[in-house]
């Protein structure tokens, strides 16, 4: 819009400057809007939780502290794996392998004896995608849980 003594060329420049300014503002608003959409799409970070069960049955007094310490150690090892970005299946397997290597737990090294007095073990593992692997009555293997994921393939 021109007023009395204004030069039309000056008015055109003002209009262009205003359009550049509007374009600049529009670009900033678009960036803010895009960043806001991206932030809303990001999932909330969930801190991992590890729960380890030390088995069932009677626990002798002399083994209680050892077993509790080893359950904690298994949970800490699995938690560290998760914090490092390893998958939950690997973390679970690590916790179970830890416990399988201890004599007071009724898995792995401390597994139950069969009628012949030999350690016979079962193990099962499952993902949240409903893939499962299990073995039964295995012998002579340190960590039967490691066989479960092999059966996924």
Q: Which residues pair with 135 in a beta bridge?
A: 123
* pLDDT one-digit tens code per residue, 80-133: 999 999 999 999 999 999 999 998 888 887 777 889 988 888 888 888 888 888
Query: In the prediction, which pLDDT does 15 show?
Result: 44
The per-residue pLDDT of the chain, averaged, comes to: 79
Backbone region of residue 122 per phi and psi (left: phi > 0; alpha: psi in -120 to 50; beta: other values): beta
The pLDDT value given to residue 78: 94
Residues 91 and 125: beta-carbon distance below 8 Å: no
Q: Model confidence over 73-86: pLDDT tens digits?
A: 999 999 999 999 99
Q: Which residue has the higher pLDDT, 142 or 8?
A: 142
Check residue 69 and give its pLDDT.
94
| pLDDT of amino acid 45 | 72
Is 49 within 8 Å of 67 (Cβ atoms)? Answer: no
Question: Over 70: is that where the pLDDT of 48 sits?
Answer: yes
pLDDT above 90 as % of the chain:
25
N- to C-terminal Cα distance for the chain? 75
Helix or strand or coil: residue 36? helix
Q: Ranked by mean pLDDT, which of 3-7, 38-42, 77-81, 100-104 comes out on top?
A: 77-81
Confidence of residue 17 (pLDDT cuts 50, 70, 90): very low
Answer with the residue of higher pLDDT: 11 or 122: 122
């Amino acid at each position: 819009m021109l007023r009395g003594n204004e030069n039309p060329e000056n008015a055109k420049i003002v209009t262009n400057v205003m359009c550049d300014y509007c374009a600049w503002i529009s670009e900033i608003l678009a960036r803010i809007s895009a960043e806001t959409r991206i932030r809303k799409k990001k999932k909330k970070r969930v801190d991992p939780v590890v729960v380890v069960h030390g088995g069932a049955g009677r626990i002798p007094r002399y083994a209680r502290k050892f077993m509790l310490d080893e359950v904690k150690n298994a949970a800490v090892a699995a938690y560290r794996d998760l914090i490092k970005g390893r998958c939950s299946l690997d973390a679970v397997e690590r916790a179970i392998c830890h416990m399988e290597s201890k004599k007071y737990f009724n898995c792995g090294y401390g597994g139950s004896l069969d009628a012949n007095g030999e350690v016979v073990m079962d193990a099962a593992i499952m993902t949240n995608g409903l893939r499962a692997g299990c073995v039964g009555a295995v012998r002579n293997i340190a960590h039967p849980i490691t066989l479960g994921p092999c059966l996924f393939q």
